Structure 1
Amino acid sequence: MRIKTSAPGKLMLFGEHAVVYNRPCIVTAVSSRIQVAIEQTPGRFKIDAPQVKDVRFVEETIRVFKNKFKTGNGLSIKTQSDFSYQYGFGSSSAVTVATILAMSKLYHLNLSLKNIFSLGYQVALNIQGVGSGFDIAAATYGGTIYFLTGGKKIEPVPVKNINLVIGYSGVKADTPKIVKSLKLKVSPKGRSSYGRKNQKSKYVKIFNQITEIVEDAKKKLVNKNWQRVGKLMNYNHQLLQKLEVSTEKLDKMCQAAVGAGAYGAKLSGAGGGDCMISLVSKDKRNLLEQAIEKAGGQIINVDNNAEGVKTEN
């Protein structure tokens, strides 16, 4: 029996980095997906994942699944992606979640979405060592969600497709490296106790400000108060600049978008590269796209608020 599944990529709307430190974020699933086809075979595992940046996620998913459910040997797994891993859409999380659902169906386990999230988050932590799990949650549940570190809260934000323009910076970010680097700044070693306390309080203040933005944005998204949502995006980006995770290219693209009439713009994700997002009225979309391209960005056309992990056959 051959099982086919798919899971969406994601875009962070508000709250990146702060979510690693027990704060909430808002993330949306995108229409670009990763497909997984799986079937039992005699002998060893065979993985064909040419479009997934790191086959380790598929291998670790199989290992975690086997250890938990005592499933047999011999699987053939093939993946296919609608998007490049370079965009920072969370391809590793999407392929992890799609693989878990496929194995759940193959072995007639019918795992709940909550169980799929828990297993996926375990896989991500096993490989990366750090992370909040928001990308696993987006791939699992889909839609636009309000998420608290580790899945303590996963709540749908009832909003339809948000009119975003997405620009790729042309630089692939190393998310685990950036997260770990910031962690060293938040809790520096080698300083006096007083110095460490002052340093930490600086970042705690920023994370608390980001939390206020997330809580406000949650309400304003539902109310479709796009002007306020845009201002919150600008403010969130300024705080990410203070965390020193933005880049000159991302800043330039965001400035170009706002200058062309966007309600607001910010980097999306870990920073250091990958994508920026801008909120726009439909009549200014073309102007924004041109401005972002002129600033050196590549426009990525995907819808948001997409469906979560699902069976394809």
Structure 2
Amino acid sequence: MTVIEANAPGKLFIAGEYAVVTPGHPSILVALDQFITVSLEEADTQGTIRSGQFGGMPIPWTRQEDQLVIDQRENPFIYITEAVKMTERYIKEQGIPLSFFHLSVKSELDNASGKKYGLGSSGAVTVATIKALLLFYHIEPDFELVYKLAALAHLSVKSNGSFGDIAASAYGGWIAYACFDREWVLEQMEAMAFSELLKTLWPKLMIKPLTPPANLRLLIGWTGSPASTTHLVDRVNDVREDIDDFYKTFLASSRDCVNGMIQAFEKGDMQLIQAGIRQNRNLLHQLTAHTGVVIETPALTQLCDLAEKNLGAAKSSGAGGGDCGIVIIDRQSGIIPLISEWEKVGIMNLPLHVYTNAKTAKAIEWKEA
């Protein structure tokens, strides 16, 4: 039998964290050359889902009224099953009959002992599943279609994130990203045909490929301490009303900072990008001061301060609280001294590179009426 394979890269946030969960507020992300691969093989009357992350044991699934059904007591695959449901809803509207299949997942986004680097595995596995399913049903996995199906799958499990990890995994490379208006999308899911919603421009959504300056080098340091994005974002959300005046200022400052960085990418201005990284780090320090949520841990502070000492501009990546820090540095600067100093304090340099899709993606950019 023919086996269909599709993969999706991991990601890191470069700038705009926390503000990006508010619709229309920009961020910058990058896709990395570590992947989740999803394989599909046609089955007869019952399918299975298998992943090495959960012991490699196949978990069976069946259908009821054309919907994938898995015993919830046995389901560690919530993002996969929701990705299947959303994609097959689209498939059915194309008049294509549904099939059974065996689905397996392989991940490079954790280390050998299973520790997570914070590279966005839930977004990547959702994107890879959708791409594999579309290919299985002989539909071209268009960038925007894959992103929107994956975003809807995450909405269905009430994700509190920005879906930026999905955009990076779907599009690859460097991207500027702003989250769509969730309430509008949820309302339209009830009001319009599913296929029509997927074709419609979503308010506030921006996904714009960026070209980095030729002399820009990205370094990634891992602190060895994993963090929960969901938990940290929840904690900030819990106190937002109490710090309303500050948070409005934070959102406006983050928007100005990231928009300035996007313009710097467009101009190829390395120094302006570095200045934006430093400004964004300072904004996150202010957010910690007002919320009590520790974004830059002592290990991340060491990572950043050592990078600054070695001519790089550095900050935490994503929700912080552990995981990775990123450094933007000139390619002509020597990085061996920095990596050596990191090693002495227990910070691991992750030898990852930017993953760029072979196909060119069309930008999505919301313009206010």
TM-score by length of 2: 0.76
Q: Could you list the per-position Cα deviations for residues 208-246 of structure 1 after superposition, in whole angstroms to 9, with x for gaps in the alignment? A: 111111111112223332222222212211211222222
| Secondary structure, aligned partner of 1:114 | helix
2:335 is paired with a residue of what secondary structure?
Answer: helix
Partner residue, 2:314: 265
Over residues 100-159 of structure 1, what are the superposed CA-to-partner deviations in whole Å (9 max), with x where a residue is unaligned?
A: 011111112334321111110011222253122111111111121111112711111122
2:39 is aligned, of 37, 40, 44, to: 37
Deviations 1:65-94 (A, max 9, x none): 234434535221111122316111111111
1:180 maps to what in 2?
234
Provide the C-alpha distance between the structure 1 equivalents of 2:358 and 2:350, rounded to a whole number of angstroms: 20
Structure 1 CA distance for aligned equivalents of residues 130 and 159 of structure 2: 20
Separation in structure 2 between the aligned mates of residue 175 and residue 127 of structure 1, nearest angstrom: 15
Match of 2:86 in 1: 64
Listed as ranges, the gaps of 5+ residues in structure 2 are: 56-75, 181-203, 289-294, 360-369
Corresponding position of 1:164: 218
The reply to whether residue 122 of structure 1 matches residue 158 of structure 2 is: no
CA contact 2:32–2:354 (8 Å) conserved in 1: yes
1:52/1:289 CA distance change after superposition, 3 Å: farther
Letter in 1 for 2:5: K
Q: Contact 1:230–1:279 (CA<8 Å) still a contact in 2?
A: yes
The amino acid across from 1:258 in the alignment is E
Say which is worse superposed, 27-36 or 127-136, in terms of deviation: 127-136
Map of 2:249 onto structure 1: 205
Aligned residues: 299
Is 1:48 matched with 2:50?
A: yes
Distance of 1:131 and 1:16 partners within structure 2: 10
Residue 222 of structure 1 is aligned with which of 261, 266, 280?
A: 266
Give the % identical residues.
28
| 1:242-261 paired onto structure 2 within 5 Å | 242-244=286-288, 245-261=295-311
TM-score, normalised on structure 1? Answer: 0.88
The answer to whether the aligner puts 1:306 opposite 2:368 as a matched pair is: no
Q: CA deviation at 1:307?
A: 2.1
What residue identity is the alignment partner of 2:142? S
For the residue of structure 1 that corresponds to 2:262, the secondary structure is helix
SS at match of 2:129: helix
What's the offset of the Cα at 1:26?
Answer: 0.9
Cross-structure match for 1:110: 140
User: Cα deviations across residues 233-277 of structure 1 (Å, max 9, x unaligned)?
Assistant: 122112112222221221121111112221x10011111111000
Per the TM alignment, residue 278 of structure 1 is displaced from its structure 2 partner at its CA by 0.8
**Contact 1:257–1:291 (Cα < 8 Å) also in 2:** no
Q: Per-residue deviation at 1:21? A: 1.1
5+ residue gaps, structure 1: 188-195
Distance 2:298 2:118 in 1: 18
1:80 pairs, out of 102, 106, 124, with 106
| Distance in 2, Cα, partners of 1:157 & 1:43 | 45
2:318 pairs with 1:274:
no
Please tell me the root mean square deviation across aligned C-alpha atoms, in Å: 2.2
Aligned equivalents of 1:101, 1:308: Cα separation in 2 = 15
Which position in structure 2 is the counterpart of 1:94?
124
Secondary structure class of the residue paired with 1:219: helix
Take 1:178 and 1:308, find their aligned partners in 2: how far apart are those partners?
35
